[in-house]
Amino acid sequence: MALTLAESAKLSLDMLRRGVIETIIDEGPIFDYLPFITVEGNSYKYNQENTLPGAAFYAVNAVITEATADFTQKTVNLAILVRDADVDNFIQRTRGNINDQMGVQTALAAKSVARKFEDTVIVGDVSVDSNSFDGLRILAVAAQELTMGANGAALTLAKLDETIDLVFPGKPDILLMSRRSRRKLKALLTASTHYVESGETSFGRMVMFYDGIPVIASSFQPNDETEGTETAASSIYGIKFGEDVGVFGVQNGDIEVVNIGQLETKDGSRVRIRWYTGLGLAQNKGLARLRGISAA
């Protein structure tokens, strides 16, 4: 069973590495839900189910026709996500009496890694950056996408419900959107005298709910997407998580904190945050996207 980073942090005996993982988790809400498969090598191959073999009724003594399921083999290539933290030895020695300068820089490097990963999970596109991985925007197939209109339009509850119904089996685990879209959703619920649900997730975060589904706002869901003539559009994603039904992460080993040590070209030392990681989608119906949500 794939583990989330939150569970992985609990198992770590290295306090520095555990602290880095916890910093990364705090920086991005997606880490609360995204499970990771640890693999050997530089990629992960899996079979994505396309069609079931089907079943039929037959008459007595009729010849039964054989049928098999259809699959497509998918590959998740691992990307190298790295951030170095350098501290001058003079600064560490003369100004480290109040704050551990290397500790501060390591924490900031961890935040940088978290934010880059969270951004790539949503908008990553290997055709734009061949060193990264494809995010939700690319992984969502055409049959699982809806639009508010050829030139975008204001969000409606009916369209959001339609998006939720595209996810199967069951409801999405989360609805991922921008803060602007969350405000619009809350306004729609209030205007329709609908009760605005809120509560704690299983990770102790207070969030808004819609139809029993956590509404997760991400700073990395942009509000400048183009839908026809609309250039200030946004998207909402309905996501199921899991290596067999939905979105999952892949990594070769956990997040590493590498002490590079003293530098040759300057009087300082370096710590590197390193992660070999990627993103996959087990079943197309595990991810749905609603595009073209305008600011109106």
* 39 falls within a domain: yes
Does the pLDDT value for residue 95 go beyond 90?
no
Q: What is the pLDDT of residues 55-72, one digit of tens each?
A: 889 999 899 888 877 778
Q: What is the pLDDT of residue 100?
A: 76
Note whether residue 5 is domain-resident. Answer: yes
Within 10 A of 114 (CB to CB), how many other CB atoms are there? 26
Tokens 């595009």 label which residue? Answer: 291
Token pair recorded at residue 179 = 């803060």
In this model, does residue 11 exceed pLDDT 70? no
The pLDDT of residue 16: 59
265 inside domain: yes
Least confident of 20-34, 166-180, 249-263: 20-34
Please list the residues that pair with 270 across neighbouring strands.
86, 261
Query: CB–CB of 19/227 below 8 Å?
Result: no
Q: Which residue has the tokens 């820089």?
A: 105
- Does 145 fall in a domain? yes
pLDDT band for position 6 (50/70/90)? low
Task: Provide Rg for the chain, Cα atoms.
Answer: 22
Tell me if 61 is assigned to some domain.
Answer: no
pLDDT grade for 133, boundaries at 50, 70 and 90: very high
Average pLDDT value over all residues in the chain: 87
246 in any annotated domain:
yes
How do residues 244-291 score in pLDDT, each as one tens digit? 999 999 999 888 888 899 998 999 999 898 999 999 999 999 999 999
CATH number at residue 282: 3.90.1690
50 domain residue, yes or no: no
Is residue 241 in some structural domain?
yes
Task: Give pLDDT, residue 32.
Answer: 85
- The pair of three-digit structure tokens given for residue 195, joined into one six-digit string: 């009760």
CB atoms within 10 A of CB 284: 20
State how far the Cα of 53 lies from the Cα of 257, in Å rounded to an integer: 48
Region of poorest pLDDT, from 31-40, 98-107, 134-143, 249-258? 98-107
Distance from first CA to last CA of the chain, Å, rounded?
43
Q: Are the C-beta atoms of 221 and 267 separated by less than 8 Å?
A: no
Residue with token string 């309905």: 238
Kindly state the DSSP code that residue 42 receives in the 8-state scheme: S
Distance CA 21, CA 64 (A): 55
List pLDDT tens digits, range 136-169.
999 999 999 999 999 999 999 999 999 999 999 8
Contact 238, 287 (CB under 8 A): yes
What domain range includes position 93? 1-44+75-296
Residue 166: predicted pLDDT = 98
Q: What is the pTM of this model?
A: 0.86
How many domains, the chain? 1
Q: Is the predicted pLDDT of residue 1 greater than 50, yes or no?
A: no
> 4-18, 67-81, 133-147 — which is least confidently predicted?
4-18
